[in-house]
Amino acid sequence: MSDLPRLWLRHESRPTERRAPLVPSDAARLVSQGAEITVEESPQRVFPLADYVSAGCATAPAGSWTDAPRDHHVLGLKELPPQPGRLQHRHVYFGHAYKGQPGARELLGRFTAGGGALLDLEYLTDDHGRRLAAFGYWAGYLGAALAVLHRRGVLTTPLRSLHREELDTLLRDGEGGGTALVVGALGRSGRGACDALETAGLTPVRWDLAETRDLDRDALLDHDILVNTVLVTHPVRPFLTPADLDAPGRRLSTVVDVTCDVGSDCNVLPVYDTVTSWTHPVRRLRGGDRPLDLIALDNLPSLLPAEASRSFSAELSPQLAGLGTDTPPWSRALRVFDEAVARETAGAQGAAEPDPARADGEENIRV
């Protein structure tokens, strides 16, 4: 009998989520090795269900993961629907529940009540703390791209999913956009942001650890665009505050927060209280003769769902072969979950994020 896991790829309940953590071609390879994979129907997933059937996967109705056998790992990307209140399976997705985010305690309580567990993809790391599968590059690329298109006055809403060729044509065809600063430029997300800006004909200023240890706030405010992709694992001095938005010499007019750590003590841009949306991707934080706008979408890579999914699946699928075994990456992910639950059980309020010892330059993003 194969030691490979039994996977249940769920439909994403968020209407704008078109990505898949496992694409049909990679599913086919796992099936050929002995994995059992069930894929839920989904009207929005960028890959047709028929492609998964051709790969040897079974199918199930959307949302039926709640009745899946308990030995199946439920695989997804974004948030779970609010029901059921008790989660009995092991879920593999981005839970965003370890830094005191809104709803984190309730989510961990659902796992505790049902006997399940969260294997958070953000904490699937190698022995050096580097993430093994990430959407960071595409999150940064798209965040910077939206900033340029907005500054040029050609960003159309509501947003829609694209292919990279179409997006790059939009970036290359226009002119202008101003000066741009990327904070966290050495990580995946920062590199993606810099690539998008260069595609648009801009030369980004790159800041990383050295520049943020002793932040030059006046220099930050002297750019037209700020793209924040920086890793923060514990509270630090904010990069931008409400007072900065009213600074007399502020040139900054467009802020893109790729991290979207709103509601967390680790938020380095505490100038807004909720993310933006595909319908209204830009929010005006200051008006008048020096307006300042915010873009803070927490699923940016879904704007390029096919490219982002293929890249992510190529990194994740080899790790899925060891899911359900005592391999170090999954053991670490489970340990982080157990530690988070233990803190909540002990009533530890405001505890620091569990530190998976991630490498310098890595990004901490909402995807």
Q: Is 73 a catalytic residue?
A: no
Q: What is the pLDDT of residue 326?
A: 81
Q: Measured in whole angstroms, how far is the alpha carbon of residue 239 from the centre of its chain?
A: 20
Are the beta carbons of 178 and 329 closer than 8 angstroms? no
Q: What is the pLDDT of residue 352?
A: 46
DSSP state letter for 98: S
Tell me whether the CATH fold assigned to 6-132+306-345 matches the one assigned to 136-303. yes
Cα gap 254→271, rounded to integer Å? 13
Residue pointed to by tokens 């991630």: 358
CA distances 69 to 74, 88, 171, 312, Å, are: 10, 10, 47, 26
**Cα end-to-end span (Å), the chain:** 36
Residue-wise pLDDT tens for the chain (367 aa)?
357 889 999 999 999 999 999 999 999 999 999 999 999 999 999 999 999 999 999 999 999 999 999 999 999 999 999 999 999 999 999 999 988 788 999 999 999 999 999 999 999 999 999 999 999 999 999 999 999 999 999 999 999 999 999 999 999 998 888 999 999 999 999 999 999 999 999 999 999 999 998 999 999 999 999 999 997 778 889 999 999 999 999 999 999 999 998 888 888 999 999 999 999 999 999 999 999 999 999 999 999 999 999 999 999 999 999 998 789 999 999 999 999 999 988 875 444 445 443 333 444 455 6
CATH of the domain spanning 136-303:
3.40.50.720
Could you tell me the pTM of the whole model?
A: 0.90
Q: How many helices (H) and strands (E) does the chain have?
A: 11, 12
Are the beta carbons of 291 and 2 closer than 8 angstroms? no
Q: What is the pLDDT of residue 94?
A: 96
Residue pointed to by tokens 């090795």: 33
Q: Which of 72, 78, 99, 150 is catalytic?
A: 78
Count CB atoms within 10 A of the CB of residue 88: 17
In the chain, what are the domain boundaries?
6-132+306-345, 136-303
Q: Which of 72, 96, 99, 223 is catalytic?
A: 96
Q: Specify the 3-state DSSP secondary structure of 125.
A: strand
Q: What is the pLDDT of residue 367?
A: 65
Pick the CATH number of 6-132+306-345 from 3.40.50.720, 1.10.1040.10, 3.30.428.10, 3.60.21.10: 3.40.50.720
Are the beta carbons of 42 and 109 closer than 8 angstroms? no
Q: Is 223 a catalytic residue?
A: no
